[in-house]
Structure formats: C-alpha cells, structure tokens
Amino acid sequence: MNTDNLNNLSQISQGSSQESTTDNNFYSCDVEVVSRTKDQNRIVQGLKAKIIVLERKLVDAELNCENQRERNDLFARIIKDKEDIIKTLNVSIELTNKFKDSKMNQMQSEIDELKKALDISNNKNTTKSPEEKFEKQMEKIHPIPGLKDFQAVFQDIPSAGSGWMVIQRRIDGSVSFSEMQLEHDYCYKTGFGSIAREFWLGCEKLHLLTTSRRHELYIQLVDFDDCITFARYDNFSVGSEIEGYSVKSLGLYSGNAGDAMSGSLNRKFKHYECYYSGLGKLLHWSWWTGSQCNLNGYYHSSKIVLTDQNGVWWGNWNNRGRSSLKSCKMLIRPMLN
C-alpha cells in the first residue's frame, strides 16, 4: 500500500472518531436538559400545590372574617337592645321611686294620724278591752226633736279636727250585715251591732241628725295592704223614711280615695238580696243606689276582686277595680262655723 492510501485511511479514521465524540457530546446534553426539565416540572407542581393550599386558606380566612363580621353585628345589636332595655328600666325605676316616695310620705302621715288617734282612744292604756277603750268616747246626744237618747262613739281625727261621731264601722266581719232576713229593713232603719266593734247607727237617726243642722261626712278606708285613704263631704244630709232615706245632699268632695258617693245624690237607700251558691246562703245588703261603692256589703276576710256589688269596696281606688277592703268607718260632725 502506498503512502497516499495510508494517509487517506488515517484521515477517514480520524473523521469517524470525531463524529463519534460529537454524538456522545449531544447525547449528554440532551440527558442534562431532560433532567433539568423534570426538576422544573416538579418545582412547578409543588408551587401549584402550595398555591391551591394557600387559595383554600384564603377562602377559609374570608369565611372566618365574614362569620366574625356577622358575630360582631349580632353583638352590636344585642348591646343596643340591652342599652334600650337598661334605659327603659332606668325610667321605670325612676317613676317607681317617685311613686314610692310619694306613697311612703302619705303612709307615714296616715300612720302618724292613726298613732295619735290610737293614743287618744286608748288613753295610753293597752291593758283594757276594746269595749272599755271606747267607753271614754261614748257620749249622750243632745236632744233632737223625734230622736230618743242613744249612746254614740266620738273620735278625734288629727287631720280633720275633733268631735266626729262614728255612724258605721267594719273591721272583721264579727257582725253580720247580710243575714238579718225578715228583720233586715227594720235593722237598717233603727241600727244594729256593737258600737265598740262593728255597727250601723241606723237610717232614721242619720235623717234626724243630718237634717237638724248641716253636717260633714268623713269616710276612712283601709285595704289589705294596710294602705289608708279617706273621702270627705262638707254637707251630708239624709232624707226621711218616706223619701227612702235618700242622699239629699253631699256638698263638696275632698280626699284621696276618689269621689264614689256623688252618683247616689237624690237616690234611695235600697235593700238587695241574692242567693250565692258558693256560700249556700241568701245574702242581703243595703246601700244607696247609684253609688260607686258599698260599705254595708258582705265582709271578705281577704283581698278579692268582687263579681258584684255585694262586698265592702270603694270605687276604683288606686285603679284596683272593685276589690274588697279590710276595714272602713263613716263619721259625721256638725259643720263648724
């Protein structure tokens, strides 16, 4: 083989070797690129997963914020409602305190009056019986044409002066005003009961007394809460038997019990009866028609709301409706000049 051929073979061999080296280099580059691409894909997938997690957390955070806003709004409404309630309660408390103070002052004044009256009537002697206590107040009435002598009870009223004669009293139901049956009319005409306890002076005596000269009428009432009140009329006059012992005059009203008698002006003193199945009794009562009261009705030993006029009650005192009273008394006195 000549030299030229050897040279050609050598060149061909070198060319093949260079081509092989180049191919190897390209393969190596491709593998490296693929590896980097996979790494990038993994990174991208990881970032996407993190984005999804963050988006979910964002949604949860927004929901929590919305829930918190709703709770805040609810709390704000509750607080406002409570503030309104507190304002209302404060107004109610203020009104209650004003009423209580007024009531306490009134009650204290009435208690003072009762203490003075009790000291006078008892003569500061607590060991005597009720009958003995009242004996010192019993006096004979000065002669009046047509009126026989009778014993009467007089009482001083601190806020209204002295010389008041008791004409009716109810305190405990110990004297029946409702079960006199055939003697009912006669008893109310002439009077009945014990002047030391419960009694009715009698319509005939009231007529003769109040027509002999001008008289005042004073009515004291006590409820089962021991609240005391009064009504006063400055020209009380009762008609004759022929006139049905009607209320001929009342005059001007004053007091804090309310005017429950003016409806009876020129109305007769009437007798009523009704059978009460709950009591199994036929009960009577007598009082002036047209009145918004009845102090001669059936005595109840506790506070009840009456279903009819048969009870001891007075108008709509303190807006309590027709409620039974614990005690009452009626007094008259000649009008002072």
Query: Can you tell me the distance from the alpha carbon of 317 to that of 295, in angstroms, rounded to the nearest whole number?
Result: 14
Cβ atoms within 10 A of the Cβ of 130, count? 13
Q: How confident is the model at residue 217 (pLDDT cuts 50, 70, 90)?
A: very high
C-beta of residue 260 within 8 angstroms of C-beta of residue 314: yes
Cα torsion 92, 95, 100, 103 to 10°: value is: -140
Cβ atoms within 10 A of the Cβ of 100, count? 10
The CATH T-level fold of domain 130-334 is Gamma Fibrinogen; Chain A, domain 1 (3.90.215)
Query: Can you tell me the distance from the alpha carbon of 328 to that of 222, in angstroms, rounded to the nearest whole number?
Result: 6
Closest CA to 293 of 190, 168, 108, 202: 168
* 223-270 tens-digit pLDDT: 999 999 999 999 999 999 999 999 999 999 999 999 999 999 999 999
* 183-204 tens-digit pLDDT: 778 899 999 999 999 999 999 9
Query: Can you tell me the distance from the alpha carbon of 214 to that of 234, in angstroms, rounded to the nearest whole number?
Result: 8
Query: Can you tell me the distance from the alpha carbon of 278 to that of 163, in angstroms, rounded to the nearest whole number?
Result: 43
* 40-84 tens-digit pLDDT: 788 888 888 888 888 888 888 888 888 888 888 887 888 888 888
- The predicted pLDDT at position 255 comes to 95
Query: pTM for the whole thing?
Result: 0.60
Q: For 193-211, give one letter per residue: b (16+ CB within 10 A) or e.
A: bebbebbbbbbbbbbbbbb
* List of residues 6+ apart from 34 with CB closer than 8 A: none
Distances (CA, A) of 119 to 125, 197, 302, 330: 8, 18, 28, 20
